Structure 1
């Protein structure tokens, strides 16, 4: 399972924040992944953990789909705080439910992949509605102790980056109550903070994915400047082989390999 997050695609000719060419950044990452497919081995699907679009426009979703098309992978998406629910539903009719929250569950190989909707339109922060939490409980019951990869946009943990934690998941404790009782292998993956952080959560491992277009400085000071860094990063690869393995794939390969 390949996970890309926070692509922030904008309409043609638009630079995000007047500076970031997010489409070029995603195109470079897709090219990088395409060039190493023989090294990676089989990939069952592409998971995108929110903020596919920067403005929630229909044009941005169309552009996103054209950019990832060379990967030729089945697509699984969850919404982020920059996405728009109805526009996503229209853009991905085969991947998302026709009505209500954009929650879904599907079997991919040995893994039960569950996607949850944390979007609160008009706000940066996210929450899991009572219906979404009930959906998760039902999906976990159906997983019946098998391996679960759970995807949502907003991390259920504090990152230490104050301005991002201010727009984090509001009811992480409610999520933890549901996950604590799951006795099988479960890995939680998310986005939002544009960097990879690994954290214990409710008896399981949670990790956030980097963004191909930008990152945030891990500055824990209370007066840390609010803003992004132009550094481009890569994506994550998740595998199940009697246990979860998660690998970060960077945006560039570097030179080599050189003999020892």
Structure 2
């Protein structure tokens, strides 16, 4: 069994600041980490944490230091990729042990039975994302080297249309190029992303794609052409991806409900 905890879009800011003057994102992440640690005996061993972008809301060095302090209680290896709010240089400096000194922040890790691939979709100064030619080549090489083994492929921007107009406008611009590459992979593969602050399941190149919710806010699923552009002050949780001869994904909510209560088996 190989298990990856997937967190995304934490949007951490320096001490004393709020996102959009309203969201205490650090407090939300701290609560989620405590929630995860409270159920570690229930969910079993976790091998690593994947953070699929927007660790920071402003790309500042201070925000990355704060992020690392907040997730430290998990006591797990952390693997990160950039989102549109991150700064490539500051993220590279904060996680220098993970990245090459130059170029896109792409990487491959062998974790248990899995090949975990992280791709850099950041286009600095823009909300939307794109895979640079060298990132597409990196992915092709990484999948070739995986030789049919199970793969979790992570990127920040959603590689599918989500139906939320203002988010589709800043999604992954070269979805088709990604789809063509993953379509050729014959082994088990799941695509993982963040960006849309909600859980959705779609298909990309014949493989399942899953977006992870955000611990700090949500975007309403509103397909109307005149849908308001903005976020909901609604915290969500994270995902747990498990491989045991097949993939399984479990959502972990931000709070525990009351119970469990015994069933009433009275006829």
Report the Cα offset of residue 210 of structure 1. 0.1
- 1:36 and 1:207 map into 2 onto residues whose CA distance is 23
Q: How many residues matched?
A: 260
**Correspondence for 1:255:** 258
Report the Cα offset of residue 96 of structure 1. 1.9
**Correspondence for 1:44:** 47
Report the Cα offset of residue 139 of structure 1. 0.3
**Correspondence for 1:230:** 233
Confirm whether residue 77 of structure 1 aligns to residue 80 of structure 2.
Answer: yes
Which of 88, 91, 110 in structure 1 is aligned with 2:91? 88
Segments of structure 2 that go 5 or more residues without pairing to the other structure are none
SS of match in other structure, 1:258: coil
Give the structure-2-normalised TM-score.
0.97
Which of 8, 15, 22 in structure 2 is aligned with 1:12? 15
Q: Does the CA-based 8 Å contact 1:151-1:190 persist in structure 2?
A: yes
CA deviation string 1:185-208 (max 9, x = no partner): 000000000000000110100010
Report the Cα offset of residue 102 of structure 1. 0.1
- 2:109 and 2:178 map into 1 onto residues whose CA distance is 20
Report the Cα offset of residue 109 of structure 1. 0.3
SS of match in other structure, 2:79: strand
Which of 147, 151, 163 in structure 2 is aligned with 1:160? 163
Q: Does the CA-based 8 Å contact 1:75-1:95 persist in structure 2?
A: no
**Correspondence for 2:188:** 185
SS of match in other structure, 1:169: coil
- 2:100 and 2:10 map into 1 onto residues whose CA distance is 22
CA RMSD of aligned residues (A): 0.4
SS of match in other structure, 2:181: helix
Superposed, 1:115-130 pairs within 5 Å as: 115-130=118-133
Report the Cα offset of residue 253 of structure 1. 1.0
SS of match in other structure, 1:163: helix
**Correspondence for 2:27:** 24
**Correspondence for 2:69:** 66
Superposed, 1:203-222 pairs within 5 Å as: 203-222=206-225
Report the Cα offset of residue 37 of structure 1. 0.4
**Correspondence for 1:173:** 176
Report the Cα offset of residue 64 of structure 1. 0.1
- 1:258 and 1:211 map into 2 onto residues whose CA distance is 29
- 1:95 and 1:238 map into 2 onto residues whose CA distance is 21
Give the structure-1-normalised TM-score.
0.99
